[in-house]
Amino acid sequence: MERSANAKSIWMLHAAVMLFGLSGVAAKFAAASAVTIAFGRCAVSACVLLPLLFARREPLGVTLAKDAPLLAAAGLLLALHWVSFFESVKVASVAIATIAFSTYPLFLVFLEPLVYREKFRKVSLLFALLLLAGVIVTIPEFAFSDRTLRGVLWGMLASLTYAGLSLFNRSLAARHSGAKISLCEQAIAAAALLPFALAAGGRPSLADVAVIAFIGVFCTALAFSLFVAAQKRLSAQTAGVVAGMEAVYGMLFAYLLLGDAPAWREILGGAVVLGAALAATWRREAPTP
């Protein structure tokens, strides 16, 4: 019975990561700006999560008010994270965006010991250098006119903001449920992005609205719910390893749905980034002697 439950959780985890990886591919079908897509994703997901929290009778009141500044900062980081990720997808490709985003452990190597006053491990620097090397391999020309370079820079910004967001969430998770944190952060992100989405001008087409709704419902709210539910029976190590597959799933969906076959540079760079990220995850979660 236990083995069956664990197998089900692993499948749920893979389903969640597949949906996360599908978000970048779905954005390719929308003509709307990155800001508009990011706003819609956060707004739709928040609207889905709110009734779920009410159904579970999770109060949003006093306990959250104490962490309002932290939640506000996390929400703003989330807004910047999604805008930079979708901008990377539009400027370059799904492969470049997901590979660059997967380097967030590079920033955690330096930020986490600084923020939480933990011991800096020299071997972590090796993993960080490998992640950076994997991204550099994907760049054919170091000129700002090169779309790949610009996509990498946007993707690295998405990576940096996600690393910062994960540090905020590490603190918030000690006091609140994942669903509650996600709802508040996405609502704040949507509110922050609304003026920019309006300033972007243009009325999204029905096709764009459908794509954004799909990303918000399936690639965000549903994916997050599956991810959290699966983690209840699985170790953080297992969750981290499967989450590292997002770039692989993203490139696979891009090939199947867009006919966007990754170049040899992207395959090599993705392999280096994925290998380094998985190795860092295994080491991070391994018991210390």
Q: Where are the domains of the chain?
A: 2-285
Interacting residues of 108 by C-beta distance below 8 A, sequence separation 6+: 163, 166, 167
Query: Do residues 190 and 72 lie in contact, with contact meaning Cβ atoms separated by under 8 Å?
Result: no
Say which residue, 122 or 154, is predicted with more confidence: 154
Give, as one character, the DSSP assignment of residue 51.
H
Say which residue, 163 or 86, is predicted with more confidence: 86
- Give the burial class of 89: count Cβ atoms within 10 A of its Cβ; 0-12 exposed, 13-18 middle, 19 or more buried: buried
pLDDT at 22: 94
pLDDT at 287: 39
Give, as one character, the DSSP assignment of residue 144.
T
CA distances from 83 to 118, 144, 188, 250 (A): 31, 19, 14, 17
> Residue 239's pLDDT band (boundaries 50, 70, 90)?
low
Averaged pLDDT, 74-87: 95
| Residue 66 identity (one-letter amino acid) | K
| pLDDT of 36 above 90 | yes
> Residue 286's pLDDT band (boundaries 50, 70, 90)?
very low
pLDDT at 285: 47
Alpha-carbon span 151 to 163, nearest angstrom? 18
Alpha-carbon span 66 to 278, nearest angstrom? 36
Q: How many percent of the chain have pLDDT more than 70?
A: 85
pLDDT at 281: 59
- How distant is the alpha carbon of residue 236 from its chain centre? 16
Interacting residues of 127 by C-beta distance below 8 A, sequence separation 6+: 105, 106, 109, 276, 277, 279, 280, 283
**pTM of the predicted structure, to 2 decimals:** 0.86
> Residue 40's pLDDT band (boundaries 50, 70, 90)?
very high
Averaged pLDDT, 92-106: 86
Alpha-carbon span 54 to 44, nearest angstrom? 16
